[in-house]
Structure formats: structure tokens, C-alpha cells
């Protein structure tokens, strides 16, 4: 994790920003919860546990800064809340998809690129260069399906 924090610090410095202690707390929360898709409010609540002086506005500003520097990216799962993931690497391997349970809201990542053939066809037929894609499947997870 320290290498990732160092890399983020260097990226921000190159853009004449600093990785302040508050920003580092926010980054650590995101890194410690990589398997989750946290909203700004959830990040704020986790940061508050370790740094009570960090405000919600600071979390929002930091998330926007991290987005601008491609440190994180946001995803909308159709519930009216942005969720955040560490790392974006647009066009460079960020090909994973999400299964979203319509009942409990559980989000499952599918870490396979299921659209390679379709991307090739679109590129060829429409002369269009694809840099990234996002695919979301909505349905019911095993637990919710078994409750029915």
C-alpha cells in the first residue's frame, strides 16, 4: 500500500498538488476497501473514524481531485449515488463488469472482458476507436433469489 500512496503522491506533485494528511486518510480508506464500491458518504464515515476533523466537503473535493488525476473513477449503479473505485487506467485494462442486485444492492465484480468481440466489430464497422466501456447487469443475487 505504501508504494501506491507514494505513486499517488508523485502524480499529485507533478500536477502541483500535495498529498495532505487528510487526502491520505481518504486514499487509505479507498485502498483498504478496494473490493467495495463506496459512496462519498461511506468514505466520509470511514475517514471520520480515524480523522474526526475531516469534513464531508473535504471528502468531496478530494474525490474530485482524485478523479481529475485518474487515481480513482466513479460509477453510477442507477441508485442515485456515485460509487468510487481505485484506479481507472481508462483504455488500459479497466474491463470489468458489475452485477447489481436489485433487492439488496450488492455489487459483484466480473473481472473478465466479455465484450472483446463486440468491440472489434464496432471498431471495424463504424471506424470508431473505443477507449473504455462499462457494463452493468441488474438482477438478483443468490441470497435474494433464495429468499423468494
Binding-site residues: 95, 101, 104, 116, 133, 141, 144
Tell me which residue of 91, 130, 98, 132 sits closest to 112, measured CA to CA. 98
- C-alpha pair distances (Å), 42 with each of 36, 51, 121, 143, 144: 10, 14, 40, 23, 23
Which residues 6+ apart lie within 8 Å of 138 measured at CB?
Answer: 78, 100, 102
Binding-site residues for Zn(2+): 101, 104, 141, 144
C-alpha 22: how far from its chain's center?
19
Binding-site residues for Fe cation: 95, 116, 133
Which residues 6+ apart lie within 8 Å of 31 measured at CB?
Answer: 1, 4, 5, 86
Please, what is the Cα angle at 24 between 23 and 29, to 5 degrees? Answer: 100
Cell of 53: 476533523
Amino acid at each position: 500500500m505504501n508504494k501506491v500512496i507514494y505513486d499517488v503522491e508523485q502524480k499529485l506533485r507533478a500536477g502541483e498538488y500535495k498529498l495532505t494528511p487528510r487526502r491520505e486518510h481518504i486514499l487509505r480508506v479507498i485502498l483498504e476497501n478496494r473490493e467495495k464500491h463506496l459512496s462519498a458518504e461511506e468514505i466520509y464515515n470511514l475517514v471520520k473514524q480515524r480523522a474526526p476533523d475531516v469534513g464531508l466537503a473535504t471528502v468531496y473535493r478530494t474525490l474530485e481531485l482524485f478523479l481529475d488525476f485518474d487515481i480513482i473513477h466513479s460509477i453510477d449503479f442507477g441508485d442515485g449515488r456515485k460509487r468510487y473505485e481505485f484506479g481507472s487506467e481508462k483504455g488500459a485494462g479497466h474491463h470489468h463488469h458489475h452485477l447489481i442486485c436489485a433487492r439488496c444492492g450488492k455489487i459483484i465484480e466480473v473481472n473478465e472482458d466479455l465484450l472483446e468481440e463486440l468491440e472489434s466489430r464496432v471498431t471495424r464497422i463504424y471506424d470508431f476507436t473505443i477507449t473504455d466501456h462499462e457494463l452493468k447487469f441488474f438482477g438478483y443475487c443468490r441470497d435474494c433469489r433464495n429468499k423468494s
